[in-house]
Amino acid sequence: MKTTIKMLLLSTVLTTGLSGCKASNEALPQADDGYQTYIHTGDSFKHLQFTDIKNQAVRFDANHKKLVILFATWCSDSQRLLSELKQSELLTQAELTIVAIGREETNTTLEQFNETMQLPIHFVADPNRDIYNTYANKGIPRVILLDERNRVMQTLIGEQPNTLSKLNWN
């Protein structure tokens, strides 16, 4: 009996703890999920240049739309979204700059992740959540689509399959 109860408790902890890719210090979502997005359609994106994991400068110029993905390598929803990106037409769009910002990640963890993923995009480390905290309070992956003037066109939380198909980027 005690073994059965322990197994049920362990199963519950694992199931709820892995849903939604929340860090261990984040509370599980309530009925309204508690997710806050601090940037909205029409707002200007605050970060206009980054240094990626290859030490290349990435500047958000006025000639391209941008797709910013806030994610974590350990998150199954983030892994799924980036796998979907790998299979999508978005990678073939010359007028689209794609930047994936690794929340609580280092250059090393992102380099290791992309050795497996093999995505031809810019990866940027955000080890202390400095970038992430500007745009949201919790929940990954986050997708932010920007126009040529770096204004937000759309924001999405990518915890469900096929999030990228919901982008209105044309």
Q: What is the DSSP letter of 4?
A: H
- Residue 22 pLDDT grade (very low, low, confident, very high; cuts 50, 70, 90): low
pLDDT of 42-60, one tens digit each? 999 999 999 999 999 999 9
Predicted confidence at residue 136, as pLDDT, reads 96
**Among the listed residues 80, 131, 77, 81, the one whose alpha carbon sits nearest the alpha carbon of residue 102:** 131
Measure the CA–CA gap between 74 and 104, rounded to whole angstroms.
10
